[in-house]
Amino acid sequence: MRVSAKVDYAVRASVELAVRENDGPVKGDVIAEAQDIPFKFLENILSELRAEGLIQSRRGSDGGYWLARPAGEITLAQIVRAVEGPIATVRGERPTDVEYPDSSAALRDVWVAVRASLRLVLDHVTLLDVVTGHLPDVVPELLATPDAWEAKGINSH
């Protein structure tokens, strides 16, 4: 999975709002500066998060942004879906909807399993988990696997 800048910024902005959950509305420029996110890009992201009901906002001198629900009720998957759509797609389609010729038919099962593994983490980690550093058991279990921290690919050594 490739985590886009948009997803990274959306999660970080949401985490910033979670950290400031009891501070009242937070100005967009404060979020942008605290998380080192380009302000114009952040405005669009905040608009998408608001449209999906994850954050709320108010204009004016006492305005800003805040979480629409407690941080413990907002998962990373909800944020990803709000700004990019489904967690995993194949050529823009849901993995369950992809059809392959006989020789490649098993690929559909692979892509569905990839989606399930992403959901295993993203659907269970909340903003509160990130803020407190107390991640669900699945995260440390995956981090403890022998190759979790090992880079693999064409250019890795």
* Domain CATH code at residue 94: 1.10.10.10
The answer to which of 15-29, 45-59, 94-108 has the lowest mean pLDDT is 94-108
In a domain, 153, yes or no: no
Separation of alpha carbons 122 and 139, rounded Å: 10
Sign of CA dihedral 84, 82, 129, 65: positive
Domain count, the chain: 1
Is residue 30 in a domain? yes
Q: Is residue 67 part of a domain?
A: yes
Q: What is the dihedral of CA 96, 100, 106, 112, to 10 degrees?
A: -20
pLDDT in tens, 25-46: 999 999 999 999 999 999 999 9
Whether residue 151 is contained in a domain is answered as no
Residue 156 lies in a domain: no
Q: Tell me the residue range of the domain where 88 lies.
A: 5-143
45 lies in some domain: yes
* Position 138 in a domain: yes
b (16+ CB within 10 A) / e for 26-52: bebeebbeebebeeeebeebbebbeee
Residue 131: phi, psi to the nearest 5? -60, -40
90 vs 111: CA distance, rounded Å: 8
Note whether residue 150 is domain-resident: no
Altogether, the residues listed in the chain come to a count of 157
The more confidently predicted of residues 54 and 89 is 54
pLDDT grade, residue 121 (50/70/90)? Answer: very high
Whether 157 shows a pLDDT value over 60: the answer reads no
